[in-house]
Structure 1
Amino acid sequence: MAQTLYFPLLLIALCSISECVQRQYHFINENKNWTEAQRYCRENYTDLATVDNMNDMNQLKNSLDVNYGVVWIGLQGTNVSNWHWSSGDSVLFLNWASGQPYSSDNCAVMINGKWFVGACTATWTFICYNMSGGLVFVNQTMNWRDAQSYCRQNHIDLVSVRNQNENQQLEKFINDSQISGSAVWIGLFRDTWQWSDQSSSSFRYWKPGQPRSQTNEHRAAVEQFSQGQWAIYFYAISNNQFPFICHEGDFCFVLCPDKLIVIQQNLSWSEALRYCRQDHVDLVSVQSVEMQRRVMNVVKLASTEAVWLGLHNFCSVNMWLWVNGDMVCYQNWAPGNGSTPENCKLENRKGAVQSGGNQTWISLPESHRLNFICTNY
């Protein structure tokens, strides 16, 4: 009986550890201008702090001294404007209406399946996505920033649209919600900010009214008197010398789609594993909602209906594991999958992600020949 109880408790403990692995932040209580702080972080850690999501932001705030005032992070103004998804997904697909984007406005709405640029201060209803990847229509009018905050507090984020299929699904969802023809906010925005470590993270945590008019002489800082939200400061003037936050480690494995490679060869699971370990690092492990969304970004490039993941079944203990040794804490199984079948030992079941539909996971015999996803980190 003790062994029966112990194993689930051990599994829960390991899953909790896996879920809590974050970029490491270091508060440096020395007053420097932004350039000096950047140089210090690059010499002693990885770079000035990058923030990818609210979990990172909470970790960063936990690392701060109680009386920190204003603290530099690694976000810098540039002269180049780029489109981003609020969720951090790469912008791999655009569906602008004819003549769009025609103005200098910086946020996007969808009308009848097409995208239009709009003023971020305008108020519209909006679409969030939740933990299961489902869509949520919010029948309240808010400006884009408030809509983003609402989605992040109550669901995951404003909706991203990564391919034509998702655009059609979103259009159908809007029509089914009986708001066809109306403008609704989606998670697309543009700005001229860039992280010091060149991360593509589009996470922003500005305080109300920020950023104001911005130039390439501006940098972002965390303000204690704004509950850790961000404001902009000129980086080079002598009285703008603040403590700062460095981050340590390259966590691009979780964050950057270019670290995930779809191999368009049809191999068995064991052959795919061998290929990834010889030419890259490993078959991909999907340990979070964020990683699943990045897999969904790249899996559409596959030529097979399903794509191998680094997921394998241990029949003797009736459990699935990732090839890197992690427990399967986050799960995204299609209905009827994820349990150990009676003929598991004969078929040697492995896990794959569907390249179409909802891109959920399915269990297949390892002898099936599929495309596969390698990771380069």
Structure 2
Amino acid sequence: MRADIIITLKLQTETSDSGQKHTTSKKWTKLCFSFFFSLRQYHFINERKNWTEAQRYCRENYTDLATVDNMNDMNELKKSVNDKSVQLVWIGLQKTGRDKWQWSSGEPALYLNWATGQPEGRDYCGMMLNGQWEDLPCNSAQHFICNNTNTGLILVNQTMNWTDAQRYCRQNHIDLVSVRNQNENQQVEQFISDRNLSGSWIWIGLFRVRDSWQWSDQSDSSFRYWKSGEPNNAGGVENCAAVNQSFQGRWHDTSCTNQFSFVCHEDFDSELILIKENLTWSEALSYCRQNHVDLVSVHSEEIQRGVMNVVKRASTAAVWLGLHNYCIMNMWLWVSGEIVCYHNWAPGNGTTRENCSLENRKGAVQSGGDQRWISLPESHKLNFICSRY
């Protein structure tokens, strides 16, 4: 789990004039620092079960068999295993035979807009045709779209295979374009139409990952910690993953019918509470601090996913977050004190000077659609999300 902490420094430059110092300039400097911590709680169950029995136990008593997102999660999981005599411990990773799709940028493909009958399953690279996606052989030569930080979308008027297109975008711009939601899909479709290429196959940054391992809770985590030489599918029956304490917690594939102890996790969703009362932002803040911990701060994509899961049950079109516009410093802040580094603003929202002179603006998340963040007058009465973390 990544979170961002901000140190805000007030810098002033002083010069000497006849031995006296005076301030010549003042500036707020905002620095984002990232650190990792686990928002999952791991529970070691020292009972021997096969993988399916362990999965059932975890789902009945916690959230699921353990999912691991990063090395910090892995360290927390290893700490939870308090019986060092146990060698192999089940986690929630199982071979499914299904490959996964992700973006060239490394993001998992959560939003998918396949045309009817697609993907066919034979090809490993994705393209757009009339706003919908199809899979094509990666060696097919097509036009493609890059992302550029300064100019936005760039249509490259050359045909290349997918790998060469990716290399071109990374060398000359940022990367092949990612299409992460319906709004971005419409923008890319319109961009193609404006250049008279409707009806053409256009590479986007979508590709199929040859990794048929899937987490029990359907997480998109691509983190793997295999021991050297694993997974090796010895005997053709090793379809489940276990932590091997004899090899610094590295993973082995092994038969799912073996009986081992196991680790469950409780997901961060259980730390988020949707309150279906309609309160102003300030009233919601007071409620959360009196009854739980705080209005939720969304420091990362993982926390945003948790918010997206709970906000679907809201009775208002938007739901308050712990996000406020601090006009004096020309920035958005979380109630926990951090500046907004990770963000999920809807287009036209989140500008720092947004209506500062007229009314205080606070941040909310849409309960429908793409569940983007929007800014609203704090006097609006909405449902809200408290955090117990």
What's the TM-score bracket when you normalise by the shorter of the two chains? 0.5 to 0.7
- When residues 170 and 11 of structure 1 are mapped into structure 2, their CA distance, relative to the original with a 3 A threshold, is same
User: Conserved in 2, the CA contact under 8 Å of 1:97 and 1:116?
Assistant: yes
Instruction: State how far apart, in whole Å, the 1-side matches of 2:232 and 2:207 are.
Output: 27
Bigger shift: residues 151-160 or 179-188: 151-160
In structure 2, the residue matched to 1:16 is 32
- When residues 175 and 307 of structure 1 are mapped into structure 2, their CA distance, relative to the original with a 3 A threshold, is farther
Equivalent AA in structure 1 for residue 211 of structure 2: T
- Indicate yes or no: 2:369 matched with 1:350: no
Out of 306, 309, 314, the position equivalent to 2:321 is 309
Equivalent AA in structure 2 for residue 173 of structure 1: F
Where do residues 282-293 of structure 1 align in structure 2 (5 Å cutoff)? 282-287=294-299
Instruction: State how far apart, in whole Å, the 1-side matches of 2:330 and 2:295 are.
Output: 21
Out of 231, 234, 245, the position equivalent to 2:232 is 234
Aligned-pair CA distance for 1:326 = 0.7
Say which SS state the counterpart of residue 200 (structure 2) adopts: coil
- Indicate yes or no: 2:342 matched with 1:324: no
- When residues 198 and 110 of structure 1 are mapped into structure 2, their CA distance, relative to the original with a 3 A threshold, is same
Equivalent AA in structure 1 for residue 320 of structure 2: W
Out of 115, 125, 141, the position equivalent to 1:107 is 125
Name the count of aligned residue pairs: 297
- Indicate yes or no: 2:190 matched with 1:176: no
Where do residues 210-229 of structure 1 align in structure 2 (5 Å cutoff)? none
Deviations 1:173-200 (A, max 9, x none): 2111322111122325354343779783
Aligned-pair CA distance for 1:269 = 1.5
- When residues 322 and 135 of structure 1 are mapped into structure 2, their CA distance, relative to the original with a 3 A threshold, is same
Where do residues 1-377 of structure 1 align in structure 2 (5 Å cutoff)? 5=12, 11-12=29-30, 15-17=31-33, 20-22=34-36, 50=69, 78-86=95-103, 87-89=106-108, 91=110, 93-129=111-147, 134-148=152-166, 151=169, 154-155=173-174, 158-163=177-182, 165-186=183-204, 187=206, 189=208, 191-194=210-213, 200-201=219-220, 234=232, 266-273=278-285, 282-287=294-299, 307-314=319-326, 319-329=331-341, 334=348, 337-339=351-353, 343=357, 347-352=359-364, 363-372=375-384
Say which SS state the counterpart of residue 323 (structure 2) adopts: strand
Instruction: State how far apart, in whole Å, the 1-side matches of 2:169 and 2:279 are.
Output: 40
Gaps of 5+ in 2: 1-8, 14-24, 39-65, 72-90, 236-243, 251-264
Say which SS state the counterpart of residue 99 (structure 1) adopts: coil
Aligned-pair CA distance for 1:220 = 6.3
In structure 1, the residue matched to 2:76 is none
Instruction: State how far apart, in whole Å, the 1-side matches of 2:373 and 2:178 are.
Output: 21
Aligned-pair CA distance for 1:295 = 9.3
Instruction: State how far apart, in whole Å, the 2-side matches of 1:183 and 1:5 are.
Output: 55
Deviations 1:278-327 (A, max 9, x none): 88865443556x57986997799577665533212446666542112212
User: Conserved in 1, the CA contact under 8 Å of 2:317 and 2:367?
Assistant: yes
Q: Tell me the TM-score normalized by structure 2.
A: 0.53
Instruction: State how far apart, in whole Å, the 2-side matches of 1:107 and 1:149 are.
Output: 14
Say which SS state the counterpart of residue 96 (structure 2) adopts: strand
Aligned-pair CA distance for 1:120 = 3.1
Deviations 1:138-197 (A, max 9, x none): 44444444545555663255412433x443333222111322111122325354343779
- When residues 359 and 94 of structure 1 are mapped into structure 2, their CA distance, relative to the original with a 3 A threshold, is closer
Deviations 1:64-89 (A, max 9, x none): xxxxxxxxxx9988233144332534
Instruction: State how far apart, in whole Å, the 2-side matches of 1:366 and 1:80 are.
Output: 49
Instruction: State how far apart, in whole Å, the 2-side matches of 1:336 and 1:351 are.
Output: 8
Q: Tell me the TM-score normalized by structure 1.
A: 0.54
When the two chains are superposed, the root-mean-square deviation of aligned CA atoms in Å is: 5.5
Equivalent AA in structure 1 for residue 135 of structure 2: V
- When residues 371 and 126 of structure 1 are mapped into structure 2, their CA distance, relative to the original with a 3 A threshold, is farther
Deviations 1:92-144 (A, max 9, x none): x5433333333432332221122222223433333344558954434444444
- When residues 183 and 243 of structure 1 are mapped into structure 2, their CA distance, relative to the original with a 3 A threshold, is farther
Say which SS state the counterpart of residue 351 (structure 1) adopts: strand
User: Conserved in 2, the CA contact under 8 Å of 1:353 and 1:362?
Assistant: yes
User: Conserved in 1, the CA contact under 8 Å of 2:318 and 2:382?
Assistant: yes
Instruction: State how far apart, in whole Å, the 2-side matches of 1:123 and 1:191 are.
Output: 22
User: Conserved in 1, the CA contact under 8 Å of 2:102 and 2:108?
Assistant: yes
Whichever of the two has the greater Rg, that structure is 2
Equivalent AA in structure 1 for residue 97 of structure 2: V
Equivalent AA in structure 2 for residue 194 of structure 1: W
